[in-house]
Amino acid sequence: MKDRVKKFRARIPEIPLSKMASKEPSTVSKKRRPYMAPLSKLNDSHKLKRINQDLKSQLKRNTDQIWENEKISLRNKFFVLDHTAEVLENYRRIQENEIFNHVLHEERDKKAFLRRESRKAENLIDNYDYKFGDYKYLQSTENNTSIYQIAGSVDIFYEQTQIKNNQSKLSNGLKQIEAPSINQMASGQMNEFQDYKSKQKELQNFRIEKMLTPRSNNPDLQKYLEDKAAYETASLGETSADELTIKSAQSEEDSDKRIDIIRENSLANEFDHIKNVANQVEQYEQKVVDEYKHIDVYRAKGKSYNKINFNDLTVHENLNYIKFNLKTSTEAFQLFEQIKEKYGNHPEIPAAIVQKLANKSNIKRQQINKKLLSKWEYKSILRSISQNIELLDNKQLVDTIFSIGKLHKRQTLKEIETDVPQFYQFFNYFVRDMLKEAKDRINELQTVQVAYLAKGVENMRKILNDNNKILEKELREVIKTYSVQNAASFDPYSVSKVLRYLYTQNDGGETSLKVYEALGMRFYQNLKERRESMREMTLDDPLIDIEMKDILDLIRVYSVYAKPEKQLFVPQLFLDESLENPDMGGQMQLQTQLDSSQIKIENLNQLSKAILSELPDIIQKKSEEINFSQISDLMFHYTSADMMQNKNFIYFLEKTAEDQLILREKFITLNSARLIWGFGKFMNRRLQPRYNQDIGATIINRYELTKVPSVSHKLQRRVVDLIIEHKKAITTDNLALSLYANASVGFYDRIFFADAFQQFTLNGQAPSLKNIGYFAQSMALLRNYEHFDHAILWLEQLIINEPQNFYEKSGFNIASEFSFVQTLQALTYLDLDKVKNSMIILQFLDFYAKSLEIEMTETHINLVPSTLWSLMALNKLDQNFKLMEKCLTVVQNEKLSNLSFSDCVLMNQVFNEYIKHKELPIDPEQRRLFLQLGVRQDQIEQKSNIDYYKKVYGDDIVYQLIQSFKFMSYDGNFTVDCYNPVRGGYQALIDIDFADKKYSYLMANKFDTLRDTKILNTYERIRREQYKNLCKKDGRELIIIDYKVLGLMFKSSLSKEEFRQKVSQELIKPYQ
């Protein structure tokens, strides 16, 4: 609306007032008529113009006033309209869903009805009612009429019906039959039909009994077969082959002498074939009927539904009833109470009840204690199993353990002890007996049974007390031994379940590694068989039925062992543009040094990579089965492994996730955090492969990551918008991870960042140290100074109120040390002066430095550079000189592969500050490497800025500047001493020499200052100060050129000559 007002104001014409004086008063507006008389006396054009401007400004003010008065009501109106449209759209969707659910329910009812009907015997057998009828036992029959009388009456009924049918076919015969006799016959037929319907069940049972009579006792059939045999038999003396038949009955003179040979035995063979087929059909029909009789409990027991009891059934009948007919837990408890005395030594019945409750019931987690554990009947069922557990066969034992694990999967032992204390002790004994029995029988089980056993024990891990945990560990060891010995017989499903069991137990022992290798080799063999079957287009694919959850179990395990080996990673973005320099050395020499320090890859690592490289093809073929949770798991684990070179698969996961978000696929924020975390790691693969573990990368990540942020940030934008729009619940841990993942790719959403800050301060307490670390790192990556004061206040509160978070029994907790160094470095990078003013942080830092001086080991190698850099920035390193000596000793003793690229850059800055200490244990090779990587960092930053400003100004302004310096040097005012000079691991733009002065030009860019401020970050402050001191040693002064200033000069220049003149006036003459 405001834009429309502006356009309207721009179109307001200037009305020439000189014409108003000559117009008729009726043609002029009433508001301007008072001006007509004075205007007629005015001849000065300047005064008329001034009056016109005043009137126009008055009109503009009135327009603005109208806008100010009406904008609130307009906004409210538009809000109501938008809200109403949204409500109507939601109502329409609700109606569509109701219609769809109704149609879907009808379709499902039809399909269920067809399935039920297809299983009935009467629908499987033609003329079923005629052949078998109702076979059920007649519980309520009280009529003692003989079954033979019923059969006779029905035969009469059929005879009369046949007569009537014959009469209907003969039109002439109908005239000879009188109407009364027909009516009388019809009434007799109806009486007979009613008698037949009342005795139908007895009649059908009689027919079944009659059909069961052997055919050898059927006189009609025997007579027919004997007569036919007499007709078909011929004397062998009459013919030498088959019987001969004369075709014509004419006289011998007139007859055709030809004869036809009819092979009567072919007719007999066809008849025998048809008879055999009929017999087979009858046998099949009889088999179906017998099967139905077999499961007809009421017929077998001779009791009705109201009179029959579970004690009347056999063990197998009770098991069938539990499997097919049991509906509620109340009915299950009644069944057990009735049969426990008669079948007390048959544990398969209570085991079947437990399995039914676990697999077919919908008991929720909150109702388990109320509906099961508090019932004494459930305890009685488990006691019966425990007392006779040795009588269970292997399958029933495994199924029972699996069912117990599934029933109590989401419970904890503490909940059972608190809510149902009377059940707690017995339950521990019951679990103990189950684990012992499983351990004793492990060698008797099949591989698929071991898989189900592992899955059941895995689900039971939260309900095990200390003694049962020991038993579980022993059982796990025998499962591992069994898996190694029988790996060749495992199928993909069994492999996935055993590996998942070991993965959830966090078991990485030596035996577990053998299991991972043995089962991995077996699964890799399955992958090879799959490739072979697809190549030959056969149907014996061993992975054809594998599900996505099983594939995910395999990926979770082997992604752990497919992680990249520790090695010094130098970003390879701009290797082709490396410059020759004496301080840098050759890139080939650096690469040789890195290759010599690589760790040899073990067999399990190779196997893991081979398995993960084969699975994307299977996953893509199952794209329709993947949900958002599985996509997030795939993204997280694949980017954690050394498989990020498969860019197509990662982008496939991103596209699939985005499609599901567009379709409003439901997701929880845990999955969204894992998704954008994994994708952020993938985007940083060429710059920061260790991702969050590389602390130093936070403050040197000063290059433009994405070329087209609007495209590269689509996934992050959609996830953040949905979280904000639907107000999804998100934990502080997932929120911190999401902030860091978004910041690592340069994505910043002010609303999401503000909401995260509000959630961190929701309960009035400081967040955890880990979350503060990620929050501070996110601010440092984004150069966001907005919430700095709160972050430093949180750290002070933790140091004062919760110092126990930093320690464990043996000293500092390494995880807390990591988070503390992570936070300290980020805060120091953002505002050095405020950190210096915090006495609480400085005192704790002194204490930490003293303890680190004593406790430092090789595990601190990745904390050393960031710790030393923070101490150096805070002027604390001189006080901890011994710590620096020990840190350098640890760095010198460790392999270079344990240091990241950013660690080397920070160490170069520390060395430049303290190179004056000659007694420091500095390795010349390490020093040279740090100098090389420091230059590499400046090259990456320069290249990133060139690309960024090339998009802004349309040309490489740095190249144009160097060309201008080069061209102007020909005039003789100055000489170019060096292009891209390097001092102390820092690369500048150019060195120029005047007659009496020398200068070194350094480029300043947007990454040097914090977002929306002109405050330099601490790394850049130290870098400039150190480079300035290095220039002084060479007798040079430092001149800093801002990219923005240079860009405006280039943009405002009409030609290269004009640009050179501006460069000369603003960058050369002031210093000449």
The mean per-residue pLDDT over the stretch 4-18 comes to 53
With beta carbons less than 8 A apart as the criterion, state whether 502 and 588 touch: no
Domain boundaries, the chain: 2-117, 120-138+146-217+282-289, 310-485, 648-764, 933-1071
- CA–CA gap between residue 454 and residue 488 (Å, rounded): 18
Which residue type occupies 646? N
Strand pairing report for 998-1004 and 990-993: antiparallel
Mean model confidence pLDDT for the chain = 75
Q: Is 207 exposed, middle or buried (0-12, 13-18, 19+ CB in 10 A)?
A: middle
Could you tell me which residues are beta bridge partners of residue 1002?
Answer: 1040
Please give the backbone phi and psi of residue 1060, each rounded to the nearest 5 degrees, phi first.
-65, -40
Task: Give the C-alpha distances (Å, rounded to integers) separating 464 from 432, 515, 645.
Answer: 9, 24, 42
As given in the structure block, the two tokens for residue 675 are 């998704």
pLDDT tens per residue across span 285-313: 777 777 666 666 666 777 766 777 888 88
Which of 610-619, 916-925, 995-1004 has the lowest average pLDDT? Answer: 916-925
pLDDT tens per residue across span 707-726: 455 557 888 999 998 888 88
Please report how many Cα atoms fall inside a 13 Å half-sphere around the Cα of residue 951, on the Cβ side: 10
User: Which residue stretches of 622-713 are H helix?
Assistant: 628-640, 647-662, 669-683, 697-700, 709-712
Task: Give the C-alpha distances (Å, rounded to integers) separating 805 from 125, 767, 772, 795, 801.
Answer: 76, 12, 13, 12, 10
Alpha carbon 52 to chain centroid distance?
69
Please report how many Cα atoms fall inside a 13 Å half-sphere around the Cα of residue 656, on the Cβ side: 23
With beta carbons less than 8 A apart as the criterion, state whether 297 and 324 touch: no
- CA–CA gap between residue 791 and residue 736 (Å, rounded): 13
Q: What's the pLDDT score for residue 353?
A: 92
With beta carbons less than 8 A apart as the criterion, state whether 15 and 52 touch: yes
- CA–CA gap between residue 1065 and residue 264 (Å, rounded): 124
Q: Which of residues 706 and 743 earns the better pLDDT score?
A: 743
Nearest to residue 569, comparing CAs of 555, 590, 554, 550?
590
Which residue type occupies 439? K
Q: Which of residues 592 and 694 earns the better pLDDT score?
A: 694
Q: What's the pLDDT score for residue 495?
A: 93
pLDDT tens per residue across span 529-577: 888 877 776 666 777 778 889 999 999 999 888 876 554 444 443 323 3
- CA–CA gap between residue 556 and residue 646 (Å, rounded): 17
As given in the structure block, the two tokens for residue 836 are 């210096």
684 by DSSP, 3-state: which? coil
Matching CATH number, 933-1071, of 3.40.50, 1.25.40, 3.90.1570, 3.10.20: 3.90.1570
Task: Give yes or no for residue 790 having a pLDDT over 50.
Answer: yes
Which residue type occupies 60? K
Task: Give yes or no for residue 395 having a pLDDT over 90.
Answer: yes
- In the sheet with 990-993, reading across from the earlier edge strand, the strands are 975-979, 990-993, 998-1004, 1037-1042
With beta carbons less than 8 A apart as the criterion, state whether 828 and 875 touch: no
Q: What's the pLDDT score for residue 238?
A: 36
With beta carbons less than 8 A apart as the criterion, state whether 823 and 870 touch: no
260 by DSSP, 3-state: which? strand
